[in-house]
């Protein structure tokens, strides 16, 4: 449950491995005998006797692994080196060896690193360390070693590594190189050595233009990263970057002081200042642009700024986003601006604007099911010829299915409903045994089950993702998902099953743990069990001890304050905060709160899901001003200003429809669950105005 989390400005933290790289000169030193012995142990494949057959009882060596993990997080390399010999032969030994070497990687000899690679071949830890090593080699500009190691990097998913690879000397004679680099660079939100170095290198070689650099500065300013904008502008010259501190700190004052002598100010400085001003006051930025700067800026610059202003105004239902987007030219906007232009046009029912904006997106963006669906809807709405109607049908057909929100809506546009697809042939004993004996999958499960969830998830994902590198078939993925299901590691079960495209095991993708307890509770309080399951699947993936960074806990991710309030409301006496991770207590409070939310929003599933995620007050405010016309709930959901909540609502509703198909064994309609959403009748009052 995210309502309190949003109120405090927090989100669930992404699980990541710290990869702080220190800029010390490379040191070559003899490898200590103790390190050679303890840090480079042979990794024997797990035999059937080592494969997990049940949740392991925690052992003393497991406790040592947990202690090493804590020492790694604290950067205590001496403690790691001391503990490493004591976990020889442990299932998770590759993690222990990784932590020990990673903690001192900036002073490690290259021979030690190569020895680690040789002793743990094919493991996640080998490739994880290679990623870290590549970043260090790139930072130190050891390009020969970098190029040699890059060819062995299997994940190949680190943007910084990719940036370094694109800046190797001599630059490849590839006309696509600048475009490829810009795709990497423009997506980065934080400054880093790799992409800054590559950008400067490509700019010096005249493979990037001033316009390319300023585009990066604009994107950085729009993302509230003025320091990153300054780093980008510095590539052109220190003088170009000099005004950025002033215009980012006081954009309105900066613009006012430049009005009297605007011909002496660089146009891109004005663009950046207007972008910065729009983030806090889009209407004020619009007034300044229209009154003072519209004739001074180029059409492309004006259009971009109007796009930013429109995007910011679209975050508020009563904003003037549509009017601002009418002043833009689609060709001058990026995909993000165009997406918000589509949303503003949908609110106004301007299907011509919807069609133009979706067609102007990049090829990659146009393949996203969101924009495929809305482009098809626009063609259907506007189409006056058989060709237009056929084009709409083809677009719907290209995404129609049971996989997600827009896929299900597209299926209904074609006159079909959401049904449980035919199950693939049952897994054979050999397929199950192959998954059971997979060393990497076993390490992932073992780590999760002794309390190293982050490490276990990364290791599991790495080996499950071999499918993308030709290592696992779809049958292998189903077998791996089955293994996780049997161990009741439901999040890995679901995520792995979702990787298959042609083979869909619906019961595996939408498992129903705690079925008796949930169905009984749902019937008791009069709530659709499919909605409860759909929400839990999105909240916690059925991880019993799931804990958010701000304290939301358990299956239904209930915040402590909300739990206490709900316990009083539903008559749960003697509730203690420590009970929140108890399964039945969590279900009782979570479903009780969800029922109160549903009643507060007149049974609207989209409004209730948004309220559960972002808080009832926000969900109420997003309904629109009094007198506004009701919207299709799909249009309303797409206009939710928080990306987190927008994605959440769509996934919960699609999950709900899938679970309903499973529970009822009957075809279902997502559209019927959506309905219309508009302002609440002021005369009706609130069911519970104190709802947290």
Structure tokens, 484? 């996780």
Q: Do residue 656 and residue 564 come from a single domain? A: yes
Domain boundary among 504, 537, 565: 504
CB burial of residue 42 (10 Å; 0-12, 13-18, 19+): exposed
CB 526 within 8 A of CB 537: no
CATH number at residue 618: 1.10.530.10
Q: Is residue 132 part of a domain?
A: yes
Q: Compute the distance between CA of residue 683 and CA of residue 597 in angstroms, rounded to an integer.
A: 19
Domain boundary among 484, 504, 524: 504
Number of domains within the chain: 3
Q: Do residue 640 and residue 550 come from a single domain? A: yes
Tell me, yes or no, if the pTM score tops 0.85.
yes
**Catalytic residue from among 539, 632, 638, 686:** 539
Q: Compute the distance between CA of residue 100 and CA of residue 68 in angstroms, rounded to an integer.
A: 8
| CA proximity to 462, closest of 157, 187, 105 | 157
Q: Do residue 498 and residue 519 come from a single domain? A: no
Q: Is residue 218 part of a domain?
A: no
Q: Do residue 678 and residue 541 come from a single domain? A: yes
Q: Do residue 61 and residue 132 come from a single domain? A: yes
Strand partners, 558: 553
The per-residue pLDDT for 41 is 32
Q: Is residue 176 part of a domain?
A: no
**Domain with 73 in it:** 33-152
Dump pLDDT digits (tens) for 585-613: 999 999 999 999 999 999 999 999 999 99
Q: Do residue 440 and residue 525 come from a single domain? A: no
pLDDT above 70: residue 113: yes
Q: Is 290 a catalytic residue?
A: no
Coil vs helix vs strand at 148: helix
Q: Do residue 563 and residue 646 come from a single domain? A: yes
Task: Give the model's confidence band at 23: pLDDT under 50 very low, under 70 low, under 90 confident, else very high.
Answer: very low
Q: Is residue 328 part of a domain?
A: no
Q: Do residue 481 and residue 534 come from a single domain? A: no
Average pLDDT value for residue range 395-408? 98
Residue 592 φ/ψ region, left for φ over 0, alpha for ψ in the -120 to 50 degree band, beta for the rest: alpha
Q: Compute the distance between CA of residue 558 and CA of residue 554 in angstroms, rounded to an integer.
A: 7
Q: Do residue 556 and residue 649 come from a single domain? A: yes
Q: Is residue 312 part of a domain?
A: no
Residue with the two structure tokens 């299926």: 411
Dump pLDDT digits (tens) for 528-586: 999 999 999 999 999 998 888 788 999 999 999 999 999 999 999 889 988 999 999 99
Q: Is residue 120 part of a domain?
A: yes
Q: Do residue 487 and residue 527 come from a single domain? A: no
Task: Give the model's confidence band at 365: pLDDT under 50 very low, under 70 low, under 90 confident, else very high.
Answer: very high
Q: Is residue 537 part of a domain?
A: yes
Strand partners, 590: none
Domain boundary among 453, 484, 504: 504
Task: Give the model's confidence band at 15: pLDDT under 50 very low, under 70 low, under 90 confident, else very high.
Answer: very low
Percent of the chain past pLDDT 90, that is, above it, reads 80
Dump pLDDT digits (tens) for 148-190: 999 999 998 899 999 999 888 677 778 888 998 999 899 988 8
Task: Give the model's confidence band at 506: pLDDT under 50 very low, under 70 low, under 90 confident, else very high.
Answer: very high
Average pLDDT value for residue range 355-369? 97
Q: Do residue 80 and residue 125 come from a single domain? A: yes
Dump pLDDT digits (tens) for 289-331: 999 999 999 999 999 999 999 999 999 877 899 999 999 999 9
Q: Do residue 586 and residue 549 come from a single domain? A: yes
Q: Is residue 388 part of a domain?
A: no
pLDDT above 50: residue 683: no
């Amino acid at each position: 449950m995210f309502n309190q989390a949003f109120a405090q400005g927090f989100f669930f933290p992404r699980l990541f491995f710290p990869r702080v790289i220190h800029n010390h000169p490379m040191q070559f030193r003899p490898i200590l005998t103790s390190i050679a012995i303890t840090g480079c142990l042979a990794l024997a494949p797990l035999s059937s006797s080592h494969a997990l057959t049940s949740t392991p009882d925690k052992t003393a060596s497991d406790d040592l692994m947990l202690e090493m993990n804590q020492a790694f997080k604290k950067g205590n390399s001496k403690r790691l080196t001391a503990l490493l010999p004591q976990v020889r032969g442990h299932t998770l030994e590759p993690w222990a060896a990784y932590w020990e070497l990673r903690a001192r990687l900036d002073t490690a000899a290259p021979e030690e690193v190569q020895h680690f690679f040789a002793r743990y071949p094919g493991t996640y830890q080998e490739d994880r360390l290679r990623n870290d090593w590549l970043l260090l080699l790139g930072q130190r500009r050891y390009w020969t070693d970098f190029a040699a190691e890059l060819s062995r990097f299997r994940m190949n998913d680190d943007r910084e590594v990719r940036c370094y690879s694109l800046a190797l000397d001599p630059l490849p004679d590839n006309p696509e190189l600048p475009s490829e680099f810009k795709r990497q660079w423009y997506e980065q939100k934080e400054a880093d050595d790799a992409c800054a170095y590559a950008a400067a290198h490509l700019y010096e070689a005249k493979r990037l233009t001033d316009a390319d650099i300023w585009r990066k500065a604009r994107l950085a300013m729009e993302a509230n990263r003025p320091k990153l904008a300054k780093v980008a502008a510095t590539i052109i010259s220190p003088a170009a970057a000099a005004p950025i501190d002033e215009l980012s700190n006081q954009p309105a004052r900066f613009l006012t002081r430049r009005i009297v002598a605007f011909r002496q100010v660089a146009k891109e400085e004005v663009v950046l200042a207007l972008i910065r001003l729009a983030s806090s006051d889009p209407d004020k930025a619009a007034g300044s642009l229209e009154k003072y700067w519209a004739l001074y800026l180029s059409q492309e610059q004006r259009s971009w700024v109007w796009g930013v202003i429109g995007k910011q105004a679209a975050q508020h239902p009563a904003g003037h986003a549509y009017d601002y987007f009418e002043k833009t030219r689609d060709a001058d906007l990026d995909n993000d601006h165009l997406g918000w232009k589509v949303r503003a046009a949908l609110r106004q029912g301007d299907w011509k604007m919807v069609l133009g904006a979706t067609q102007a997106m990049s090829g990659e963006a146009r393949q996203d099911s969101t924009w495929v669906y809305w482009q098809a809807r626009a063609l259907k709405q506007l189409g006056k010829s058989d060709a237009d109607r056929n084009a709409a049908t083809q677009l719907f057909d290209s995404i129609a299915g049971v996989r997600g929100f827009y896929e299900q809506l597209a299926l209904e546009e074609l006159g079909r409903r959401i049904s449980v697809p035919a199950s693939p042939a049952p897994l054979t004993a050999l397929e199950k045994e192959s998954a059971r004996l997979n060393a990497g999958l076993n390490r992932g499960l073992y780590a999760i089950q002794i309390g190293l969830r982050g490490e276990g998830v990364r290791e599991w994902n790495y080996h499950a993702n071999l499918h993308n590198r030709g290592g696992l078939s779809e049958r292998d993925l189903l077998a791996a998902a089955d293994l996780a299901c049997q161990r009741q590691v439901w999040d890995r079960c679901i995520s792995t099953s979702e990787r298959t495209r042609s083979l869909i095991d619906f019961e595996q993708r939408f498992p129903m743990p705690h079925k008796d307890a949930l169905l009984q509770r749902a019937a008791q309080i009069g709530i659709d069990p499919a909605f409860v399951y759909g929400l839990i699947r999105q909240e916690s993936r059925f991880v019993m001890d799931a804990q958010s960074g701000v304290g939301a806990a358990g299956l239904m991710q209930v915040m402590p304050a909300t739990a206490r309030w709900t316990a009083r409301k539903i008559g749960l006496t003697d509730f203690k905060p420590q009970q929140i991770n108890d399964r039945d207590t969590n279900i009782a409070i979570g479903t009780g709160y969800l029922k109160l939310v549903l009643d507060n929003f007149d049974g609207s599933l989209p409004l209730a899901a948004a309220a559960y995620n972002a808080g009832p007050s926000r969900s109420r405010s997003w309904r629109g001003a009094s007198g506004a016309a009701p919207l299709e709930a799909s249009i309303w959901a797409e206009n939710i200003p928080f990306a987190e909540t927008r994605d959440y609502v769509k996934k919960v509703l699609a999950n709900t429809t899938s679970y309903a198909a499973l529970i009822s064994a009957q075809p279902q309609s997502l559209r019927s669950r959506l309905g219309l959403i508009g302002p609440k009748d002021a005369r009706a009052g609130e069911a519970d105005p104190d709802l947290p």
